[in-house]
Amino acid sequence: MKKVIAFLLALTMVFALCACGGKSETKLTYATGGTSGTYYGFSGVIANVLNEKYKGTLNINVESTGASKANIQMLEAGQADIAIVQNDVMYYAYTGTDLFSGSDPITSFSAVCSCYPEYVQIVAKKDITSIDQLRGKNVSVGDAGSGTEFNAKQILAAYGMSFDDIKVSNQSFADSADSLKNGTIDAAFVVAGYPTTAITELATSFDFNLLPVDDAHADALKADYGFYYYGKIPGGTYSPVANDVPAVAVMATIVASNKVPSDVVYLFVKGLFDYKADITAGHAKGNELDLNTAVSGVSIPWHDGAVKFYKEKGLM
């Protein structure tokens, strides 16, 4: 009996030593957004799928955060390894402008993948049909200091206006929808993937237009700001709007700290596309992962691991 016990103990030690000698698991902290937002839900599904597919190799822990700006600050502080952010906000951080004005540029992170567009949706009363007609109107431009506020400034400037030409109101998306319904504002800028809950709920009791951005103004915006993407909000996305609406968008983009090894980032971005079907089964935004747009709207350097993957796909 003693010999049997000794043998079993020895065998246990062998297995333990073999396990210790194997490749160690890489743990990644993934900064996202609020628990009720798309960033958190979408990223949570990505983490669950890749943790399962790369079990023993990757272990991704998703954290709820204050979204884009906070996520970049977490990367800089070493509190996160990867994050999902708006591509305009990452540009501001990298250049020390707008949202990051007055701060040193943050260059300790790089791009991994553009995931899906977050459209600048300009919701207006039914009698307003163009951006030009916002002059003199009461317009919500998002929370003060938000990325939405800067998008509003840039788009108005493309049309020859500034905040001095409108009556500025700083409100959240939900508050903007309530104010439109109550008649206290005439229009609102909302930057989010469509359909946006606040606008969908507004559509049940309020008739509105989505204001289009024409080709010429979109080209001017893209020339001035490399992060803009141009596309269309499909007709029927919101019940009052029957036709497609051309609009500019920023891209929800995954970024990584430059400290994350290139082979880890390569595996991560490869998994996004190898297991796209599994991600889509868990979150609708997974269906928008597309190699054709994965490298769109990025105006900061790419992570070496992402470069390796995209070169294999002939995109770089």
pLDDT, greater one: 6 or 240 = 240
pLDDT of residue 256: 98
Calculated CA dihedral for residues 104, 108, 112, 117, nearest 10 degrees: -20
- pLDDT > 50? residue 235: yes
Q: How far is CA 246 from CA 11, 87, 188, 210, in A?
A: 67, 20, 17, 9
Q: What is the pLDDT of residue 12?
A: 46
pLDDT of residue 16: 43
Does residue 73 carry a pLDDT above 90?
yes
- Percentage of residues in the chain having pLDDT higher than 90: 80
**pLDDT of 296:** 87
The whole-number average pLDDT for the span 32-51 is 91
Tokens (6 digits) for 103: 């701060």
**CB-CB contact of 110 with 265 (8 Å):** no
Please write the tens of the pLDDT for every residue from 272-313: 999 999 999 999 999 999 998 999 889 899 999 999 999 999
Mean pLDDT, the chain, as a whole number?
A: 91
At residue 23, the pLDDT reads: 61
Q: What band does 34 get if pLDDT is binned at 50, 70 and 90?
A: confident
* pLDDT tens figures, 126-149: 999 999 999 999 999 988 878 889
The set of residues, in sequence order, having a beta carbon less than 8 Å from that of 187 and lying 6+ positions away, is 122, 123, 124, 125, 128, 134, 137, 138, 139, 140, 180, 211
Question: To which residue do tokens 């200091």 refer?
Answer: 145
- Sequence-distant (6+) residues with CB within 8 A of 44 are 32, 62, 283
Amino acid at 208: F
Q: What is the pLDDT of residue 263?
A: 97
238: confidence class by pLDDT, cuts 50, 70, 90: very high
Q: In order of start, what are the domains of the chain with their CATH numbers?
A: 25-115+253-312 (3.40.190.10), 118-250 (3.40.190.10)
Lowest-pLDDT range, 21-35, 75-89, 218-232? 21-35
pLDDT at 5 over 80: no
Question: pLDDT digit string (tens) for 150-166?
Answer: 999 999 999 999 999 99
Residue 10: the pLDDT is: 46
Q: Which pLDDT score, from 0 to 100, does residue 316 have? A: 92
